[in-house]
Structure 1
Amino acid sequence: MKHIFTVITVLIGFCSFSQTQKGIVIDGYGNAVENAFIINPATESHSHTDDSGAFTIEKTNVGDVLRITALGFKIKSYKVSSEENKIVLEDGVLKLNDVVIQHKVSAMNLISKIDLQTSPVNTSQEILQKVPGLFIGQHAGGGKGEQMFLRGFDIDHGTDVAISVDGMPVNLVSHAHGQGYADLHFVIPETVDKIDYGKGTYYANKGDFATAGYVGFQTKEKLDNSSISVEAGQFNMKRTVGLFNLLDNAKNQRAYIATEYFLTDGPFESPQNFNRLNLLGKYTYLLGLNSKFSISASHFSSKWDASGQIPQRLVDNGTLSRFGAVDDTEGGNTSRTNIIASLNKPIDKNTFVKINTFFSKYALELYSNFTFFLKDPVNGDQIRQKENRTLYGMSAEINKKIKNDGWDINYQVGIGFRVDATKDSELSHTLNRKTTLENIKLGDIDENNNYGYLNSEFIFGKLMINPGLRFDYFKFNYQDKLSATYTNQSKDEIKVSPKLNFIYSQNNNLQFFVKSGMGFHSNDARVVVQDNTKKTLPTAIGTDVGTIWKPSHNLIINSALWYMYLQQEFVYSGDGGIMETSGRTKRMGADFGIRYHLNEILYIYSDANYTFARSMDVVKGQDYIPLAPDFTTTGGISFQNWHQFSGGIRYRYLKSRPANEDNSIVAEGYFVTDMNLNYNFKNLTFGVAIQNLFNTQWNETQFATESRLKDESNPVDEIHFTPGTPFNLKAKITYRF
């Protein structure tokens, strides 16, 4: 009888510890808190919240006390109830101590919140610089989309990195200037809440252009307070930003509007006369527990003049200063109006859906002159690139969790479409921005992309196996308006992109990963319909092997070795309206990053990236990939909450790299340091920022270009560059209310 009683007692104890509890974690405004870490100290059972804030924890009974930590929130103890467990967290300070390494393919995304808080951004360019290893350069007066570099790619303006804002794609296909053109200047930096990024081709929900990686920006749903900022600096720079909370006390609603106006002449001898206006309004309504609807509308317009790229020979012989111009009639204007709506809604405790729709009207008129008098020795080589575009689309995703004995399944099934309708996409030879000398290209482009994907996560204790599959269908149409007869050329193409990732988490402080997958970038519709020998959707194949390690509560180290094969680089030159032959490439490299909270005040961070990049279809010595970065590093040290002071100093280094295929022309590297200092006094913040603290002489963008000046008989092939900003002091006052 005694033995029977013992067995029954053990069985009861086993059953009691085998219970599973479910719940949801939200903030004080009712928003889901994703990536929260929940642990039962009594049983050491733990769990994480998903995108909807939901979690399931095993070996937990009613009455047990859970410990919840989440980045940016105070630690909370919660006693499990018999009913649905709704856990509300209070806002806290972002610190590495709260970071828990999770079963995710992009586990380092959590760090972006700390990077944003410790070193705030106030320009569109600085937003992109928050992505480790991503470098940018501006070479057209500030109004043109930035040139980007990542993992040995000269991405131009977006060919091999997919960029989105609140689920709306930023990259523009078959653009008048370049394939995948991404202009982020419509984003007000102060409204950015989170940066989601990933390198490589490993993400089933990312399609076109996601080869070197992707970057997704999420804007805020609420403001902690309203504010007005006024900023002024050298080179006649002025900037005002207004953030206005519209629903202070509404329980289930929040709304705000934001505006930015920016002016500068830049350091150039010919003033840029740059101006930019941004407007944003966003409204969110909580439909119920972890269910919400959000809609935003924004408008952006910009106008500028530019000095353009200048040849090194004129600076060397003293004809021009670094900030002079050969042709200062460059410049342009652009605008973009967006409407974005999203719905997050749970179906049951294990299932929720996400739906996103967007509509955008875009226009660009861009004047450039890269070769001066090479093609037209009388009138010069100025070109105009112009387009008017309508962009719209939708995406829907269902997320499902399935619990099993000893293993779990999470999966996402998504579908969507995107339509780009471009009217009068133009490339013309012009004079002084007024006279059209010749239409080189003129036509209407219609491009459709329908897609679907399945992403699954099989979790066996410490191991997660993540297979995924993506299906894309493209339809390309081009109506050539310069043809003597009506022609509407078309082509369609299907792309299947498998993914397979392995994530092994030894514990909450150590993770190993092996990632692999196929991706692609689309080619310009004008190339696709005219030449079937060119790859429509060239394949990229990549793999990563690495680790994320948290050896102490305030230190995180990430590292990876990677390889990427690309079937074909982009082949359409928007500046020349011609197809350029390009073949296979390979890239391999290493990434290393470190983040360290020295104490509650000081934060140190650094990222280093090495790449070996070569073309595969040419002889050795002629196989360099022009402008492919070899070695880059960024980092800095920042401090917060020190006697009402905050600030920091940060650096970026780009090593010299080949500018042409045989490395006979070299693009010079640079090391630039910036700093900022802020002081809080009641509702006021006084700030000072310095770009290029040590007044380094550096070139922001560089190209090996063949050009001819008006008095030259023969062309010269050499470096043409846009100078980087010299020492630039700015002051800022912010009033919060």
Structure 2
Amino acid sequence: MSVSRFAPRLRILLLVVGAAVPPQAVLMRSALSQPGVAEANLDEISVTAETVAPAATGPGPAASAGYVGGTTGVGGTLRSVDAASAGVISGAEINSRPITRPGEVLESVPGLIVTQHSGEGKANQFFLRGFNLDHGTDIAIDVDGMPVNMRTHAHGQGYADINFLIPELVGAVEFHKGPYFVRDGDFASAGSVRIDYLDTVAKSVALTSFGSFGYARALTIASAPLGQGNLLVAGEAQVYDGPWDVPDALRKLNGVVRYSQGTALDGFSVTGMAYASRWTATNQIASRAVSEGLIGRFGSLNPSDGGDSSRFSLSGRWSMTDDTGVTRASAYVIRQQLNLFNDFTYFLNDPVNGDQFHQLDQRILGGGEVSHVFQGDLYGLPMENEIGLQTRTDSIRVGLFNTTNRQFRSGVLDDRVLEASGAFFYDNRVRWTDWLRTSVGFRADGYYADVVSDTAANSGKARDGVVNPKLGLVLGPWADTELYLNYGGGFHSNDVRGVTATIDPTSSLFNTTRSPFLVPSTGYEVGIRNRSIAGLETAVALFRLDFASENLFQGDTGTTEPSRPSRRFGVEWTNRYAVTPWLKLEGDLTVTNARFSDVDPAGNRIPEAPTTIASAGFTFGEGLGWFGSMRLRYFGPRPLIEDNSVRSKPTALLNGRVGYNFDNGFSLSLDVLNLTNAKSDQITYYYVSRLPGEGADGVADRHFHPVEPTAVRLTLAGRF
């Protein structure tokens, strides 16, 4: 099925107000580096990139078709065998939605919930396919070719802080679910999300936003020819207090500079990014503290909680096409730091000074990827072979300290860690007939770590490796319908300090027995995608995922710890309907059964594993005049402990936007967040804490972080 079939509808994406529409040669990078849409030759792929990649630089009407299921091989002419649950989303669609925080860009991925249980500068919490992914334990996130997940992190394994993201720079988002794809390694068992930035904008953009609870944001994006290429510069500043009795006092600065030259097939770019923020946090609070009148719903039990974070990066990518195929290479270096002050249990561990602790994470990491797609044939049948190498090295200082009002009291641990990994992947793609395509590949990962701990008994070296098969098959199309079969192995790494440690350094950060370094997973999926109704794409996927060891959030330390083996199976239903060029509807539903797969008297329910996630919405507008969007997001109830005797309540949030595009290049829009003023919870936990005057053993209770009340944000954007 040719890309050209979708080109008329997809070109409507270019009509988004203020759309940053780069030249075709530049846009090709979005569809090729983050695989694009349907089976195509290289000329067709350039059409796909032209229509999928653009992002709206400021509020504006949504495209009539901003979502495309399926992906192409990286730089190849054959469609890779993906899954019914994979797809590409344009920056135009993403920027048509009202969002509370940058991380909610990822909620454009069907079935993915992005929330927050602390201050706005902290990494978000993610839920997908029956997983409480905490801050990123089993969802791999990549921004502009750089990994976001941090391994052996002070706050939680896989910690993925995406607060540096500038939504208006997003060109395209590619997502995969399940461990079926050779490019996906650590943290990708539940899924992976790759976010690609634009290289250039057609017009300079300036916008300013003001809103409820002290919200203010300013953004500027500009690009211009320089030498044989283009220079893009973007800068962002934001402040926000929130509805909290103790204001968040968020202060954020963000910048991007990119120089690019050539095309996605023959060209290069160099990008620098800088981000810094600081904030005060209202963490989750004990329900009894509210019911007893100690604090209000938006109150804090430790007003000195909070932190600061910074991230600086330099990255580059290069590509070349010759008679054998396409060669691509990328590299990056990142310096990242986090200071986090949390108090989840109040006076349970220290009845005099309180339980606040400081988590310190300082690291420099670097790595890269090189791959080549060989064009060829197998006995006259079209065939591609793709090979690639990936590498990453983290040099880390990770610490845990007891504090009171952010003042140091005592040290728990202060470790230095060197963690390195390398991977080789191979994928063979063959078109056997017009209705049969296969993908057969594997991925081999090797890990090495050296831990130097201030507790000598916990120092040591660790090595591990894993080889995983990746198999896929596509049948069809028949009557605009394709059937997908997928199988693959995956894994997540554990905090290597838990691998080398032999004693508990007076903290529950480690178990007394050593953790495995790499934990395998196995996934299966069968799906169907149909496009027989003009403008409507609907897909259904049945999936199963087995894990040898679950990573669970621990409320008393704010970290993730290895737990029992688990199994999840469920169904996803995704719909995108371009009713007219100016009206688009969407609706998604995921239902998952998540259980521990071993026998334990405590029970077999996985805490925080959602059974039901759903969303529905519409966007309207085309060119000048009125535009708008509305989206309902449903986050179903979850078991909070293994025997299912304590459960969370569901959360349903409705966000809306309405605006107007003027013919002088300006637009004005109003976002209304939590339009119904729902008094729901962002997140709920169940664990033991101790308030002043309570018994030494504390009280097991629900701890929740409330949804912010109705808020409005007014944005004025101009293009020059």
The TM-score range, normalised by the shorter chain, is 0.7 to 0.9
- Structure 1 residue 553, shift from structure 2 partner: 2.2
Letter in 2 for 1:505: G
Letter in 2 for 1:239: R
- Structure 1 residue 260, shift from structure 2 partner: 0.9
SS at match of 1:414: strand
Mean Cα deviation higher: 228-237 or 500-509? 500-509
Cα distance in 1 for residues equivalent to 2:30 and 2:200: 20
Report the counterpart of residue 75 of structure 2 in structure 1.
none
Alignment of 1:301 onto 2:276: yes
Report the counterpart of residue 457 of structure 1 in structure 2.
429
Report the counterpart of residue 704 of structure 1 in structure 2.
686
SS at match of 2:168: helix
- Pairwise mapping of residues 54-73 of structure 1 onto structure 2 (< 5 A)? 54=43, 70=48, 73=51
- Pairwise mapping of residues 176-215 of structure 1 onto structure 2 (< 5 A)? 176-215=154-193
Alignment of 1:445 onto 2:428: no
Report the counterpart of residue 49 of structure 1 in structure 2.
40
Q: 2:403 aligns with which of 430, 455, 458?
A: 430
Report the counterpart of residue 722 of structure 1 in structure 2.
705
Larger radius of gyration: 1
Report the counterpart of residue 491 of structure 2 in structure 1.
520
Report the counterpart of residue 733 of structure 1 in structure 2.
716
Alignment of 1:267 onto 2:273: no
Cα distance in 2 for residues equivalent to 1:592 and 1:644: 33
Report the counterpart of residue 499 of structure 1 in structure 2.
470
Report the counterpart of residue 519 of structure 2 in structure 1.
538
SS at match of 1:190: helix
SS at match of 1:116: helix
SS at match of 2:149: coil
SS at match of 1:552: coil
- Pairwise mapping of residues 636-651 of structure 1 onto structure 2 (< 5 A)? 636-641=617-622, 644-651=625-632
Deviations 1:343-372 (A, max 9, x none): 011122x41111010000010100000000
Distance 1:113 1:301, change over 3 A: closer
Deviations 1:153-180 (A, max 9, x none): 1111011011111111100000000001
Letter in 1 for 2:406: R
Cα distance in 2 for residues equivalent to 1:328 and 1:635: 37
Q: 2:388 aligns with which of 414, 424, 428?
A: 414
Cα distance in 2 for residues equivalent to 1:662 and 1:537: 28
SS at match of 1:641: coil
Deviations 1:266-317 (A, max 9, x none): 000111111111010111111x793010110000001000121111112223
Kindly indicate whether the alpha-carbon contact (under 8 Å) linking 1:121 and 1:189 is maintained by their aligned counterparts in 2: no
Distance 1:324 1:29, change over 3 A: same
Kindly indicate whether the alpha-carbon contact (under 8 Å) linking 1:445 and 1:479 is maintained by their aligned counterparts in 2: yes
Letter in 1 for 2:423: Y
Cα distance in 2 for residues equivalent to 1:160 and 1:403: 36
Cα distance in 2 for residues equivalent to 1:143 and 1:118: 24
Deviations 1:137-161 (A, max 9, x none): 2122101001111111111101101
Letter in 2 for 1:213: G
SS at match of 1:214: strand
Kindly indicate whether the alpha-carbon contact (under 8 Å) linking 1:72 and 1:93 is maintained by their aligned counterparts in 2: no
Distance 1:69 1:393, change over 3 A: closer
- Structure 1 residue 31, shift from structure 2 partner: 3.3
SS at match of 1:563: strand
Deviations 1:3-53 (A, max 9, x none): xxxxxxxxxxxxxxxxxxxxxxx984423648999xxxxxxxx99436xx3
Mean Cα deviation higher: 635-644 or 537-546? 635-644
Cα distance in 1 for residues equivalent to 2:199 and 2:29: 15
Alignment of 1:690 onto 2:672: yes
Cα distance in 2 for residues equivalent to 1:212 and 1:98: 20
- Structure 1 residue 665, shift from structure 2 partner: 1.6
Q: 2:252 aligns with which of 273, 276, 279?
A: 276
Report the counterpart of residue 610 of structure 2 in structure 1.
629
- Pairwise mapping of residues 560-571 of structure 1 onto structure 2 (< 5 A)? 560-570=541-551
- Structure 1 residue 468, shift from structure 2 partner: 1.1
Aligned length: 666
Q: Using CA pairs under 8 Å that are at least 6 residues apart, name the structure with larger relative contact order, 1 or 2.
A: 2
Distance 1:598 1:399, change over 3 A: same
Q: 2:454 aligns with which of 468, 475, 481?
A: 481
Deviations 1:594-648 (A, max 9, x none): 1111111110001100000000123477111000010010120110127511111
Cα distance in 1 for residues equivalent to 2:28 and 2:478: 22
Distance 1:549 1:381, change over 3 A: same
Alignment of 1:669 onto 2:650: yes
Distance 1:491 1:132, change over 3 A: same
Alignment of 1:366 onto 2:344: no
- Structure 1 residue 416, shift from structure 2 partner: 2.0
Cα distance in 1 for residues equivalent to 2:585 and 2:88: 16
Alignment of 1:319 onto 2:314: no
Q: 1:223 aligns with which of 186, 191, 201?
A: 201
Kindly indicate whether the alpha-carbon contact (under 8 Å) linking 2:155 and 2:558 is maintained by their aligned counterparts in 1: no
- Structure 1 residue 111, shift from structure 2 partner: 4.2
Cα distance in 1 for residues equivalent to 2:23 and 2:126: 38
Q: 1:378 aligns with which of 352, 363, 366?
A: 352
SS at match of 1:662: coil
Letter in 2 for 1:317: E
Cα distance in 2 for residues equivalent to 1:388 and 1:35: 31
Cα distance in 1 for residues equivalent to 2:159 and 2:38: 41
Kindly indicate whether the alpha-carbon contact (under 8 Å) linking 1:311 and 1:718 is maintained by their aligned counterparts in 2: yes
Task: Report sequence identity in percent.
Answer: 29
Deviations 1:495-542 (A, max 9, x none): 111111111232583211010000000000101112675322111000
Alignment of 1:511 onto 2:511: no
Question: TM-score normalized by structure 2?
Answer: 0.88
Kindly indicate whether the alpha-carbon contact (under 8 Å) linking 1:268 and 1:323 is maintained by their aligned counterparts in 2: yes
Letter in 2 for 1:543: Y
Deviations 1:59-91 (A, max 9, x none): xxxxxxxxx9647549xxxxxxxxxxxxxxxxx
Kindly indicate whether the alpha-carbon contact (under 8 Å) linking 1:535 and 1:568 is maintained by their aligned counterparts in 2: no
- Pairwise mapping of residues 285-300 of structure 1 onto structure 2 (< 5 A)? 285-286=261-262, 290-300=265-275
Deviations 1:93-132 (A, max 9, x none): 9544996867441574234456326437684122111111
Kindly indicate whether the alpha-carbon contact (under 8 Å) linking 1:685 and 1:734 is maintained by their aligned counterparts in 2: yes
Cα distance in 2 for residues equivalent to 1:618 and 1:706: 24
Distance 1:114 1:730, change over 3 A: closer
- Structure 1 residue 488, shift from structure 2 partner: 4.1
Kindly indicate whether the alpha-carbon contact (under 8 Å) linking 1:118 and 1:640 is maintained by their aligned counterparts in 2: no
Distance 1:142 1:651, change over 3 A: same
Deviations 1:435-465 (A, max 9, x none): x222112110110001111011111122111
Cα distance in 2 for residues equivalent to 1:458 and 1:206: 21
Report the counterpart of residue 148 of structure 2 in structure 1.
170
Report the counterpart of residue 615 of structure 1 in structure 2.
596
Cα distance in 2 for residues equivalent to 1:35 and 1:166: 10
Cα distance in 1 for residues equivalent to 2:459 and 2:240: 43
Letter in 2 for 1:409: M
> What CA RMSD, in Å, does the superposition of the two structures yield over aligned residues?
2.7
Kindly indicate whether the alpha-carbon contact (under 8 Å) linking 1:427 and 1:577 is maintained by their aligned counterparts in 2: no
Question: TM-score normalized by structure 1?
Answer: 0.86
Report the counterpart of residue 84 of structure 1 in structure 2.
none
Cα distance in 2 for residues equivalent to 1:97 and 1:687: 20
Kindly indicate whether the alpha-carbon contact (under 8 Å) linking 1:614 and 1:624 is maintained by their aligned counterparts in 2: yes
Cα distance in 2 for residues equivalent to 1:185 and 1:225: 25
SS at match of 2:185: coil
